[in-house]
Structure 1
């Protein structure tokens, strides 16, 4: 991760994940194999089961490659304006003054494969969160949410109550309903268990994740004078 500063202005920092890597090579290699297998079909006296499996495998690998190409090249960016998260179904943006800090969340004293964001302004975030992305994030993070529910049950809370989705969520100046309300209540429950509302999946080691969070926090402090995390 290289950070450059010019003329006192912070240059964009881009973090690339594993999900988008190797997509083009995978598509080219699998498409070539599939083409060779299909062109050889007329010369076969009999279509064996193993040959059919090779064709299906090449087609599935090509599909996996296309799926990689659909992923954003950089899943996380931060610059003078704030923090940007990119997903193939949408993105969200947090100005520096809309969150308190970034860290590596833990459950049962074990680091999770995420970096967490402690939100300060729920309303600003929910207003610009695409509903389609909210649904996808809730689906992808369902295992994490269920683990926090299980932990809550161990502490005597009712699982049925924790799993129930409320229809509305209100901030000081806004009213949310539907999927955004459900997302907001999940953020609250995740924050109760981990201290963070937003979770960004990463494939880094815990040490590298902590290093990334440290730099994000330092950037935030530099761009918001007299701010204490």
Structure 2
């Protein structure tokens, strides 16, 4: 933010002191400084906490919304890996496997559901590429929007159905329903997994 503000001042002084300077160059630099300022403002609005862990649940927070999963509805938390020819290559993601999707789908914000679908798409694609005989076509897995019916008979449509279907494919190919990127954490994935497993064991 400071850098962008300094750039605005420098551009103003340049135009004032050197009126003959090309306007196209000034416009490009002004646009770049303005873009930096917008990025800085957005980063400043990010919450100080991205996760809340209580004795009842784990909750994700962001300016776009979030999600919540109770410990009683989580069956496993572990490091994300990509399997290939019997070897498991670690990836900087934490995997979560749920017991039932309905509660999680009811808690998630649609914008975050969309973000999960987009950001975690490469993980499914990587797992798919390492299979000799894939059980499904990659297009079918990435864009499956069939209605999802929970164990209790609740029907999910649209974006939430797409997320539920994606979680099923993730479980089949990656062992977990959805993932948390290490970029969102204030510690390493191993430390985060250790912490969440202690909460999980105590629930």
Q: TM-score, with normalisation over the residues of structure 2?
A: 0.84
Query: Hey, what does 2:133 align to over in structure 1?
Result: 155
Residue 183 of structure 2 aligns to a residue whose secondary structure is coil
The one of 160, 175, 178 aligned to 1:195: 175
Distance 1:34 1:141 in 2: 37
Unaligned runs of 5+ in 2: none
Aligned length: 195
- Alpha-carbon RMSD across the aligned residues, in angstroms, is 2.4
Query: Hey, what does 1:183 align to over in structure 2?
Result: 163
Q: 1:147 to 1:87 in 2, by over 3 A?
A: farther
Q: TM-score, with normalisation over the residues of structure 1?
A: 0.75
The one of 110, 128, 135 aligned to 2:114: 135
Distance 1:36 1:161 in 2: 53
CA contact (8 A) 1:149 1:163 kept: no
CA deviations on 1:142-184 (whole Å, 9 max, x unpaired) are: 22232233345x3243424434413211111111111111100
CA contact (8 A) 1:101 1:118 kept: yes
CA contact (8 A) 2:96 2:177 kept: yes
- More off after superposition, 116-125 vs 74-83: 74-83
The one of 74, 89, 95 aligned to 1:99: 74
Return the offset for 1:204: 8.5
Distance 1:30 1:164 in 2: 40
Query: Hey, what does 2:34 align to over in structure 1?
Result: 59
CA deviations on 1:94-147 (whole Å, 9 max, x unpaired) are: 111110222111013221221111111211111111222211221222222322
Distance 1:150 1:162 in 2: 13
Unaligned runs of 5+ in 1: 1-26, 225-229
Distance 2:184 2:116 in 1: 19
Q: 1:124 to 1:118 in 2, by over 3 A?
A: same
CA contact (8 A) 1:169 1:177 kept: yes
Q: 1:134 to 1:99 in 2, by over 3 A?
A: same
Return the offset for 1:87: 2.6
Return the offset for 1:84: 0.9
Return the offset for 1:51: 4.9
CA contact (8 A) 1:190 1:197 kept: yes
- More off after superposition, 156-165 vs 176-185: 156-165
Distance 1:125 1:156 in 2: 28
Q: Is 1:213 the equivalent of 2:193?
A: yes
CA deviations on 1:39-76 (whole Å, 9 max, x unpaired) are: 43122132246555443332222122122123222222
